[in-house]
Amino acid sequence: MPFKPVFSITPKIASALMKIEALKEAVKNLPVNPNVLKTLRETARLTSTHYSTQIEGNRLSQKEVEGVIKKGGHFAGRQRDEKEIKGYYSALEWLEKSVSKPITEETIRMMHALVEAGGRNNVKPTPYRDAQNVIKDSKSGAIVYMPPEANDVPILMKELVVWLEENKIELPCPILGAIAHYQFATIHPYYDGNGRVARLLTTLILYQGGYDLKGLYSLEEYYARDLQGYYAAVSRGDNHNYYFGRAEADVTPWIEYFILGMLGAFEHVKIRTEEARSIGITDKSKLLRRLTPKQRKVLTLFAEQAAITAKDVEKLFNFSDRASRLLCNALVEEGFLTIADRANKTRAYNLAEEYEELLMHNR
């Protein structure tokens, strides 16, 4: 039978959802210098990488994670840890460029391939496992959870993807993300990397639903700081065997845990972005508020370069070449961009002088 999760929206969940919505709008309208925003976003990405891999036993500290990603650092005897770090960070970068695309089984397989590739980008989507796997207690060796049989995995994954598509308008996006996380972990379609991909899938769903919060939050930190609570919340059912209770379990407690964690993360981002305004340009708040979402995003490109091309815009939005050129033309007509050199075939664009003031403190 098709996937149909059992849950209810409790008063606590409903209240948290309303607060999340208010915080989302508040952060969206905060005028933050693009250079500061870029720094905060990178910090959040590194934090997510650190904590998501730490949950799986990675031994590198947050400072060491930054060393591996930003400086190519190496740590003796930690090659596997370094590979996990590079893989997760690479998958996060790929995810942010794939927000405009629909979620398919190939999307999920590609995320897993990147997680396992250790930073390599020339990967092919990973096929699902072809045999049974089990989750055991690391100390006692006792079976904690026995996922569905390999023959059932393709059917269950297809049902999950179909369910996501059919309910993306009907259900609040945070609940959609929570259930996707739970069900993916329940199916456990791979021998390794299931937890990391479940968290990435959740992030992609939230980003697609407009809950990206400028890419400044990390749900992974919430899980990692309370591992016992995380595992208890995501492990529903009275039996360790998938076929004896897990499939029909009421996932309301997990959704409540997830939503409250999301609320905490959003509250933290609001505090950080308000503090960051003192680092950026606060007297240009009206000018920043005038920008459209696309203009704000393009503005971040100028944090490190004086001129951009349609190719830069193509990569930023994951657009086609034609769509990128059309957007650049529209931004010129709006007075947001100016053409740097009309005689050059490879057309470059400058930021209009009016908006240059938003970047001059950090360029």
Q: pLDDT tens across 320-363, in order?
A: 889 999 999 999 999 999 998 776 667 899 888 888 777 754 44
Note the pLDDT of residue 289: 74
pLDDT band at 116 (very low <50, low <70, confident <90, very high): very high
- pTM here is 0.79
187 pLDDT more than 70: yes
308 pLDDT more than 50: yes
pLDDT band at 277 (very low <50, low <70, confident <90, very high): low
Note the pLDDT of residue 361: 47
Cβ-based burial of 18 (10 A; exposed 0-12, middle 13-18, buried ≥19): exposed
279 pLDDT more than 60: no
Cβ-contact 259, 202 below 8 angstroms: no
At 159-175, the pLDDT tens digits run 999 999 999 999 999 99
pLDDT band at 275 (very low <50, low <70, confident <90, very high): confident
Looking at residue 300, its amino acid is T
Note the pLDDT of residue 281: 46
**Separation between Cα atoms, residue 226 and residue 194, nearest integer Å:** 19
| H-helix or E-strand spanning residue 348 | strand 348-351
At 144-159, the pLDDT tens digits run 889 999 999 999 999 9
**3-class state of residue 359 by DSSP:** coil
H-type helices in the chain, by residue range?
11-28, 34-55, 62-71, 79-97, 105-117, 153-167, 173-187, 194-208, 219-224, 227-234, 252-276, 285-290, 293-299, 310-317, 321-333, 353-356
Residue 111: which residues within 8 A CB-CB, separation 6 or more? Answer: 91, 94, 95, 197, 200, 201, 204
Note the pLDDT of residue 58: 92
Q: Which residues pair with 91 in a beta bridge?
A: none
Please, what are the domains in the chain? 11-275 (1.10.3290.10), 285-356 (1.10.10.10)
Residue 145: which residues within 8 A CB-CB, separation 6 or more? Answer: 134, 135, 188, 235, 240, 242, 246
Closest CA to 78 of 57, 94, 97, 92: 57
Note the pLDDT of residue 186: 94
